[in-house]
Amino acid sequence: MATCLWFRSCSARHLRLALHDRGLCPVAGYWAPGQAPLRAYVPGPDGLPTTLLRTNSFVGGRWLPAAAAFPVLDPASGAELGRVADCGAPEAHAAVRAAYEAFCSWRGVSAKERSSLLRKWYDLMIRHKDDLAKIITAESGKPLKEAQGEILYSAHFLEWFSEEARRIYGDIIYPPAKEKRALVLKQPLGVAAVITPWNFPSAMITRKVGAALAAGCTVVVKPAEDTPFSALALAEILLHHAANSVKRVSMELGGHAPFIVFDSANVDQAVAGAMASKFRNSGQTCVCSNRFLVQKGIHDSFVKKFAEAIKTNLHVGNGFEEKTTQGPLINEKAVEKVEKHVSDALSKGATVVTGGKRHQLGKHFFEPTLLSNVTQDMLCVHEETFGPLAPVIKFDSEEEAVAIANATDVGLAGYFYSQDPAQIWRVAERLEVGMVGVNEGLISSVECPFGGVKQSGLGREGSKYGIDEYLELKYVCFGGL
């Protein structure tokens, strides 16, 4: 199942010129070949913004249907939110062709104009932030407060890259020959293909698309089939200003994050960090801690306080309920994986400290779970759970902890707590991950590079480095001076 989304990003003036050249005429603020555009809305559930719930794919400035459609479900209730265009290879090829045609003009748009468009998109997201958050909660189950936080996080990527668009500088090199000058130019790559996950259906789009548009690229987006409405809503609000964009391979493929607590750590700080790192979005983020390694001298105290914090601070429920901190998992397969990891661990000697089974609210809800006496032969130590499961492994030495942490083929994020300055430097350098949280459980920031090592992906997103993924260097040798 796939829904195509093509952003053609340009100013209103460039959009009109490009579309008139293709024989298209404006109708009620949209563009179509002499007819009103296709505007298929889903009849949204109570409280959801029907004007933003689009069901068709967005290609070439138009909303287009597909031959088939697939259902999008509310993971909390199982109710169908709507049916979305199921795009296949023909629709994907059409989107890429449209994006390439747009790239031929968009690459020549000034940095100032690209900056202005991204800033306008940011403003529109802020204006519609409450409606966009409701869509995230409806289709992903994420608690509404977390969804509201994601929308602000998403919008800030557009704000950041609207500023970075004006700071894409080249270089001048002075070679040995005095009559020559060497120039280095940064130029947009072309069409970028963006495939985004369901757990951050808004932020993972703006973090990629914002950088691509700022660089002068155009973009084809394939959102997750579990959460397509968020992506389509972003296209809808941008369309009211101008429209459309994405290609090179920059991939973030998830992680299996270790969370290490050394004997010198402040236990209360470590527990607070563990709560933030593990249970955000019910454990369904790529940087969630998946393996808790706790040194033997502090182990029992940490487990006790961690369990108390889970029981006191976490409330399972529908994401639209005010007190909810833990919503449903995205689907049945996600719940089954958590069950499988818990069952495997228990069969090999692990102990349930709290939780351990499906929640009484329904089939997609799972109790926040803490396991102790976990060993390295258990599935939860070797596979990313992607759910509310916190397995704790006791270790003896720093060398042992680092070896366990690095014994995986992925390396996105890692966390550790210590008050020993020398140890902090050693472990930060030795952890085989792209991002490290030292005495901190929340590390993502618009201004900082996001990405991993090993099989956790290629390239970086966000920060001043994120735009480099959509640029290529050109060397020009200027002689005869």
Tokens of 91: 């629709």
- Which residue has tokens 């920031």? 445
Q: Quick check: is 25 catalytic?
A: no
3-state secondary structure of 435: strand
From the candidates 217, 286, 288, 380, give the one annotated as an active-site residue: 286
Q: Is the dihedral of CA 173, 176, 181, 187 positive or negative?
A: negative
R_g of the chain computed on alpha carbons: 24
Contact 45, 139 (CB under 8 A): no
**Complete edge-to-edge strand list for the sheet that includes strand 191-195:** 62-64, 57-59, 5-7, 218-222, 191-195
Tokens of 127: 């204006």
Q: What is the largest CA-CA distance in the chain?
A: 79
Instruction: Tell me how crowded residue 371 is: count the other CB atoms within 10 A of its CB.
Output: 25
Q: Quick check: is 252 catalytic?
A: yes
Contact 259, 291 (CB under 8 A): yes
Tokens of 379: 């599935």
**Which residues, 6+ apart, have CB-to-CB distance to 396 below 8 Å?**
295, 296
From the candidates 164, 252, 432, 469, give the one annotated as an active-site residue: 252
Contacts of range 434-439, beta carbons closer than 8 Å, 24 or more positions apart: 434/460, 435/287, 437/273, 437/277, 437/413, 439/265, 439/266, 439/269, 439/273
Task: Name the β-bridge partners of 192.
Answer: 219
Contact 398, 416 (CB under 8 A): no
- Which residue has tokens 């090999």? 348
Contact 196, 223 (CB under 8 A): yes
Q: Look up residue 461 and give its DSSP letter.
A: B
Residue among 64, 70, 39 at smallest CA distance from 224: 70
Residue among 306, 361, 310, 308 at smallest CA distance from 335: 361
State the Cα–Cα distance between residues 380 and 358, nearest whole angstrom.
17
Tokens of 424: 């902090």
How far CA 243 is from CA of 11, 53, 77, 274, 380, in Å, comes to 8, 17, 34, 41, 44
Q: Looking at 314-373, list the stretches that DSSP marks H as alpha helix, in order from N- to C-terminal side.
A: 332-347
- Which residue has tokens 């790239």? 103
Q: Hey, which residues are catalytic here?
A: 252, 286
